[in-house]
Protein backbone atom coordinates (compact mmCIF):
# COMPACT_ATOMS: atom_id res chain seq x y z
CA UNK A 1 0.00 0.00 0.00
CA UNK A 2 1.40 3.38 -0.95
CA UNK A 3 1.94 6.01 1.75
CA UNK A 4 2.35 9.71 1.04
CA UNK A 5 5.95 10.89 1.20
CA UNK A 6 6.84 12.66 4.41
CA UNK A 7 7.21 16.44 4.08
CA UNK A 8 10.00 17.94 6.16
CA UNK A 9 9.02 21.60 6.01
CA UNK A 10 5.53 22.95 6.72
CA UNK A 11 3.72 26.09 5.60
CA UNK A 12 4.03 28.97 8.06
CA UNK A 13 0.31 28.85 8.76
CA UNK A 14 0.55 25.25 9.88
CA UNK A 15 3.51 26.00 12.11
CA UNK A 16 1.57 28.81 13.73
CA UNK A 17 -1.37 26.49 14.30
CA UNK A 18 0.89 24.00 16.02
CA UNK A 19 2.47 26.60 18.29
CA UNK A 20 -0.93 27.98 19.20
CA UNK A 21 -2.00 24.49 20.23
CA UNK A 22 0.96 24.00 22.62
CA UNK A 23 -0.12 23.89 26.30
CA UNK A 24 0.69 26.90 28.42
CA UNK A 25 4.17 26.58 29.88
CA UNK A 26 5.15 23.69 27.61
CA UNK A 27 7.07 25.81 25.11
CA UNK A 28 8.02 24.80 21.60
CA UNK A 29 9.63 21.52 22.58
CA UNK A 30 6.69 19.70 24.23
CA UNK A 31 8.02 16.34 25.33
CA UNK A 32 7.78 14.33 28.50
CA UNK A 33 8.52 17.30 30.74
CA UNK A 34 5.33 18.97 29.54
CA UNK A 35 3.40 15.75 30.10
CA UNK A 36 4.73 15.40 33.62
CA UNK A 37 3.75 18.99 34.42
CA UNK A 38 0.15 18.17 33.47
CA UNK A 39 -0.01 14.73 35.00
CA UNK A 40 -1.54 15.92 38.22
CA UNK A 41 -4.58 17.34 36.46
CA UNK A 42 -7.24 14.66 36.14
CA UNK A 43 -8.60 13.75 32.70
CA UNK A 44 -11.26 11.12 32.05
CA UNK A 45 -11.58 9.77 28.50
CA UNK A 46 -13.45 6.86 26.97
CA UNK A 47 -11.53 6.22 23.76
CA UNK A 48 -9.15 3.31 23.33
CA UNK A 49 -5.46 4.00 22.77
CA UNK A 50 -3.65 1.88 20.20
CA UNK A 51 -0.90 1.84 17.58
CA UNK A 52 -1.05 2.04 13.79
CA UNK A 53 1.39 -0.75 13.12
CA UNK A 54 2.68 0.79 9.89
CA UNK A 55 5.09 2.44 12.34
CA UNK A 56 6.57 -1.00 13.08
CA UNK A 57 6.51 -2.41 9.56
CA UNK A 58 10.16 -3.48 9.69
CA UNK A 59 9.78 -5.05 13.14
CA UNK A 60 6.66 -6.92 12.01
CA UNK A 61 8.49 -8.24 8.96
CA UNK A 62 11.42 -9.48 11.07
CA UNK A 63 9.63 -10.85 14.15
CA UNK A 64 5.86 -10.44 14.23
CA UNK A 65 5.30 -12.20 17.55
CA UNK A 66 8.15 -10.33 19.21
CA UNK A 67 6.80 -6.98 18.00
CA UNK A 68 3.30 -7.80 19.22
CA UNK A 69 4.67 -8.83 22.61
CA UNK A 70 6.63 -5.59 22.75
CA UNK A 71 3.50 -3.51 22.17
CA UNK A 72 1.61 -5.41 24.86
CA UNK A 73 4.50 -4.95 27.31
CA UNK A 74 4.35 -1.19 26.78
CA UNK A 75 0.69 -1.22 27.75
CA UNK A 76 -1.12 -1.10 24.43
CA UNK A 77 -4.17 -3.31 23.97
CA UNK A 78 -5.36 -2.16 20.54
CA UNK A 79 -3.73 -2.00 17.11
CA UNK A 80 -4.73 -0.78 13.69
CA UNK A 81 -3.43 -2.95 10.86
CA UNK A 82 -2.42 -1.92 7.35
CA UNK A 83 -1.82 -5.43 5.99
CA UNK A 84 -1.83 -9.04 7.18
CA UNK A 85 1.88 -9.74 6.61
CA UNK A 86 1.24 -12.90 4.64
CA UNK A 87 -1.22 -14.37 7.14
CA UNK A 88 -4.92 -15.06 6.85
CA UNK A 89 -7.23 -12.96 8.97
CA UNK A 90 -7.82 -15.96 11.25
CA UNK A 91 -4.08 -16.55 11.65
CA UNK A 92 -3.46 -12.89 12.45
CA UNK A 93 -6.30 -12.94 14.98
CA UNK A 94 -4.64 -15.94 16.69
CA UNK A 95 -1.29 -14.14 16.90
CA UNK A 96 -2.93 -11.01 18.27
CA UNK A 97 -4.94 -12.99 20.82
CA UNK A 98 -1.78 -14.69 22.04
CA UNK A 99 -0.20 -11.30 22.67
CA UNK A 100 -3.29 -9.89 24.39
CA UNK A 101 -3.96 -7.44 21.55
CA UNK A 102 -6.96 -6.70 19.38
CA UNK A 103 -7.08 -5.27 15.86
CA UNK A 104 -9.95 -2.83 16.25
CA UNK A 105 -9.31 -1.25 12.84
CA UNK A 106 -7.50 -1.79 9.54
CA UNK A 107 -6.63 0.25 6.47
CA UNK A 108 -7.90 -0.94 3.08
CA UNK A 109 -7.38 0.49 -0.38
CA UNK A 110 -10.48 1.84 -2.06
CA UNK A 111 -9.86 -0.44 -5.03
CA UNK A 112 -9.95 -3.49 -2.75
CA UNK A 113 -13.24 -2.42 -1.18
CA UNK A 114 -14.74 -1.64 -4.58
CA UNK A 115 -13.70 -4.94 -6.12
CA UNK A 116 -13.61 -7.51 -3.32
CA UNK A 117 -15.85 -6.23 -0.56
CA UNK A 118 -17.48 -9.49 0.53
CA UNK A 119 -14.19 -11.30 1.15
CA UNK A 120 -12.70 -8.21 2.82
CA UNK A 121 -15.69 -7.94 5.14
CA UNK A 122 -15.27 -11.58 6.10
CA UNK A 123 -11.63 -10.96 7.02
CA UNK A 124 -12.44 -7.84 9.02
CA UNK A 125 -15.13 -9.71 10.93
CA UNK A 126 -12.73 -12.60 11.62
CA UNK A 127 -10.28 -10.11 13.11
CA UNK A 128 -13.00 -8.70 15.36
CA UNK A 129 -12.71 -5.17 13.98
CA UNK A 130 -14.93 -2.20 14.71
CA UNK A 131 -13.68 0.05 11.94
CA UNK A 132 -12.56 -0.17 8.28
CA UNK A 133 -10.65 2.80 6.88
CA UNK A 134 -9.55 3.97 3.44
CA UNK A 135 -6.11 5.54 4.04
CA UNK A 136 -5.58 7.50 0.82
CA UNK A 137 -6.88 8.21 -2.67
CA UNK A 138 -5.07 7.90 -5.98
CA UNK A 139 -4.14 11.10 -7.78
CA UNK A 140 -6.80 10.71 -10.48
CA UNK A 141 -9.50 10.71 -7.78
CA UNK A 142 -8.38 14.04 -6.30
CA UNK A 143 -10.38 16.25 -8.65
CA UNK A 144 -13.81 17.64 -7.84
CA UNK A 145 -15.50 15.11 -10.16
CA UNK A 146 -13.32 12.29 -8.85
CA UNK A 147 -14.15 13.15 -5.26
CA UNK A 148 -17.86 13.19 -6.03
CA UNK A 149 -17.57 9.67 -7.43
CA UNK A 150 -15.58 8.64 -4.36
CA UNK A 151 -18.23 10.11 -2.07
CA UNK A 152 -20.92 8.04 -3.80
CA UNK A 153 -18.78 4.92 -3.33
CA UNK A 154 -18.12 5.83 0.31
CA UNK A 155 -21.85 6.04 1.02
CA UNK A 156 -22.45 2.68 -0.66
CA UNK A 157 -19.53 1.02 1.12
CA UNK A 158 -20.46 2.62 4.44
CA UNK A 159 -23.93 1.13 4.26
CA UNK A 160 -22.61 -2.35 3.53
CA UNK A 161 -20.01 -2.11 6.29
CA UNK A 162 -22.60 -0.83 8.76
CA UNK A 163 -24.83 -3.76 7.91
CA UNK A 164 -21.88 -6.05 8.69
CA UNK A 165 -21.65 -4.52 12.18
CA UNK A 166 -18.68 -2.19 11.67
CA UNK A 167 -18.03 1.46 10.87
CA UNK A 168 -16.35 2.92 7.79
CA UNK A 169 -14.03 5.89 7.62
CA UNK A 170 -11.54 7.91 5.59
CA UNK A 171 -8.04 8.93 6.72
CA UNK A 172 -6.65 12.27 5.56
CA UNK A 173 -3.20 13.52 4.59
CA UNK A 174 -2.39 17.18 3.87
CA UNK A 175 -3.62 17.55 0.27
CA UNK A 176 -7.27 17.39 1.39
CA UNK A 177 -6.86 20.92 2.81
CA UNK A 178 -5.52 22.45 -0.43
CA UNK A 179 -8.33 24.25 -2.25
CA UNK A 180 -9.56 22.90 -5.57
CA UNK A 181 -9.93 25.29 -8.54
CA UNK A 182 -13.49 26.08 -7.43
CA UNK A 183 -12.21 27.04 -3.96
CA UNK A 184 -13.63 23.97 -2.21
CA UNK A 185 -11.33 21.92 0.01
CA UNK A 186 -11.34 18.19 -0.79
CA UNK A 187 -11.93 17.25 2.87
CA UNK A 188 -14.99 19.48 3.04
CA UNK A 189 -16.29 18.09 -0.25
CA UNK A 190 -15.94 14.50 0.92
CA UNK A 191 -17.60 15.17 4.26
CA UNK A 192 -20.40 17.29 2.78
CA UNK A 193 -21.27 14.63 0.20
CA UNK A 194 -21.18 11.63 2.52
CA UNK A 195 -23.77 10.53 5.06
CA UNK A 196 -22.55 11.16 8.64
CA UNK A 197 -24.32 7.95 9.68
CA UNK A 198 -22.26 5.94 7.18
CA UNK A 199 -18.87 7.62 6.75
CA UNK A 200 -16.55 8.66 9.59
CA UNK A 201 -13.43 10.78 9.45
CA UNK A 202 -10.17 9.35 10.79
CA UNK A 203 -8.33 12.60 11.45
CA UNK A 204 -4.56 12.38 11.12
CA UNK A 205 -3.62 15.21 13.45
CA UNK A 206 -0.13 15.75 12.02
CA UNK A 207 -1.26 15.88 8.39
CA UNK A 208 -4.24 18.07 9.26
CA UNK A 209 -1.93 20.68 10.80
CA UNK A 210 0.62 20.18 8.01
CA UNK A 211 -2.07 21.07 5.49
CA UNK A 212 -3.01 24.25 7.36
CA UNK A 213 -6.04 22.85 9.18
CA UNK A 214 -6.97 23.59 12.79
CA UNK A 215 -7.89 20.31 14.54
CA UNK A 216 -9.89 22.00 17.29
CA UNK A 217 -11.96 24.08 14.88
CA UNK A 218 -12.55 21.09 12.61
CA UNK A 219 -13.65 18.89 15.50
CA UNK A 220 -16.33 21.46 16.31
CA UNK A 221 -17.37 21.98 12.71
CA UNK A 222 -17.60 18.23 12.10
CA UNK A 223 -18.91 17.17 15.50
CA UNK A 224 -19.49 13.43 15.60
CA UNK A 225 -17.61 12.65 12.37
CA UNK A 226 -14.17 12.08 13.94
CA UNK A 227 -14.44 8.65 15.54
CA UNK A 228 -10.73 7.82 15.32
CA UNK A 229 -7.49 9.77 15.05
CA UNK A 230 -3.82 9.21 14.26
CA UNK A 231 -1.71 10.71 17.02
CA UNK A 232 1.42 11.98 15.26
CA UNK A 233 3.51 14.87 16.58
CA UNK A 234 5.10 17.81 14.77
CA UNK A 235 7.95 20.13 15.61
CA UNK A 236 7.60 23.89 15.21
CA UNK A 237 9.79 23.55 12.09
CA UNK A 238 7.35 21.12 10.49
CA UNK A 239 9.16 17.83 11.08
CA UNK A 240 7.34 14.67 12.11
CA UNK A 241 8.68 13.66 15.53
CA UNK A 242 7.92 11.10 18.22
CA UNK A 243 4.71 11.81 20.12
CA UNK A 244 5.67 14.07 23.01
CA UNK A 245 8.69 15.59 21.28
CA UNK A 246 6.70 18.15 19.32
CA UNK A 247 4.37 21.07 19.96
CA UNK A 248 0.92 19.60 19.28
CA UNK A 249 -1.33 19.86 22.33
CA UNK A 250 -2.77 16.36 22.38
CA UNK A 251 -4.34 16.84 25.79
CA UNK A 252 -6.64 19.57 24.54
CA UNK A 253 -7.33 18.01 21.15
CA UNK A 254 -7.99 14.46 22.36
CA UNK A 255 -10.09 15.56 25.32
CA UNK A 256 -12.33 17.55 22.97
CA UNK A 257 -12.42 14.75 20.41
CA UNK A 258 -13.41 12.33 23.18
CA UNK A 259 -16.24 14.64 24.21
CA UNK A 260 -17.47 14.64 20.61
CA UNK A 261 -17.46 10.86 20.13
CA UNK A 262 -13.88 9.69 19.61
CA UNK A 263 -13.59 5.90 19.88
CA UNK A 264 -9.97 5.15 19.02
CA UNK A 265 -6.64 6.99 18.95
CA UNK A 266 -3.66 5.37 17.22
CA UNK A 267 -0.08 6.46 17.90
CA UNK A 268 1.99 6.57 14.71
CA UNK A 269 5.22 7.83 13.20
CA UNK A 270 5.71 7.41 9.44
CA UNK A 271 9.53 7.39 9.54
CA UNK A 272 10.71 6.61 13.09
CA UNK A 273 14.40 6.31 13.95
CA UNK A 274 13.50 3.52 16.40
CA UNK A 275 9.94 2.32 15.95
CA UNK A 276 9.45 0.50 19.26
CA UNK A 277 11.02 3.36 21.18
CA UNK A 278 8.81 5.82 19.31
CA UNK A 279 5.57 4.09 20.27
CA UNK A 280 6.88 3.59 23.83
CA UNK A 281 7.52 7.32 24.14
CA UNK A 282 4.09 8.04 22.70
CA UNK A 283 2.37 5.81 25.23
CA UNK A 284 4.37 7.32 28.12
CA UNK A 285 3.54 10.86 27.03
CA UNK A 286 -0.18 10.22 26.60
CA UNK A 287 -0.32 8.18 29.82
CA UNK A 288 1.27 11.08 31.72
CA UNK A 289 -1.46 13.32 30.29
CA UNK A 290 -4.13 10.90 31.50
CA UNK A 291 -5.02 9.85 27.95
CA UNK A 292 -3.98 6.20 27.92
CA UNK A 293 -7.24 4.92 29.35
Q: Is residue 266 part of a domain?
A: yes
pLDDT tens column, 48-97: 999 999 999 999 999 999 999 999 999 999 999 999 999 999 999 999 99
Pairing status of strand 233-234 against strand 48-52: unpaired
The whole-number pLDDT of residue 41 equals: 56
Considering its fold, how many domains does the chain have in total?
Answer: 1
Provide the CATH number for the domain around residue 246.
3.20.20.150
- Quick one: DSSP state of residue 133? E
For residue 293, being part of any structural domain is answered with: no
CA distance 129 to 106: 8
Cα 235 to Cα 10: distance, rounded to the nearest angstrom: 10
Domain that holds residue 196: 12-288
Does any domain span residue 168?
Answer: yes
- Look at residue 193 and tell me if it is in a domain: yes
pLDDT single digits (tens) 256-280: 999 999 999 999 999 999 999 999 9
Residue 201, in any domain of the structure: yes
Q: Which long-range contacts (CB under 8 A, 24 or more apart) does 135-142 make?
A: 135/1, 135/3, 135/82, 135/107, 135/108, 135/109, 135/171, 136/1, 136/2, 136/3, 136/4, 136/171, 136/173, 137/110, 138/110, 141/110, 142/175, 142/186
The three-state secondary structure class of 137 is coil
Residue by residue, pLDDT tens for the chain (293 residues) are 334 333 322 332 343 344 344 433 333 334 444 444 444 456 789 999 999 999 999 999 999 999 999 999 999 999 999 999 999 999 999 999 999 999 999 999 999 999 999 999 999 999 999 999 999 999 999 999 999 999 999 999 999 999 999 999 999 999 999 999 999 999 999 999 999 999 999 999 999 999 999 999 999 999 999 999 999 999 999 999 999 999 999 999 999 999 999 999 999 999 999 999 999 999 999 999 999 97
Residue at 57 is within a domain: yes
d(C-alpha 35, C-alpha 43), whole Å = 12
> Does 7 reside within a domain?
no
Cα separation, 140 vs 150, whole angstroms: 11
Q: What pLDDT is stored for residue 91 in this prediction?
A: 98
CA atoms within 13 Å, Cβ hemisphere of 114: 11
The rounded distance, in Å, linking the Cα atoms of 258 and 236 is 25
Average pLDDT over the chain reads: 89
Q: Examine residue 199 and state whether it is found in any structural domain, yes or no.
A: yes
Amino acid sequence: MRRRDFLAVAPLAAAAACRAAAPSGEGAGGGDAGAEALAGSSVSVDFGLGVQVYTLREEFAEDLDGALAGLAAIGYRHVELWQLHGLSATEMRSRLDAAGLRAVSSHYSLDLLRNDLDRTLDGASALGQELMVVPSLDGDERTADGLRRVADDFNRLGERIRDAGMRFGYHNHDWEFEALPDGMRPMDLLLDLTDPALVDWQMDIFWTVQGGGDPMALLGQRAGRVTSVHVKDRSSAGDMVDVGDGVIDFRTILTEADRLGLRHAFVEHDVPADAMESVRKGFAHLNALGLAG
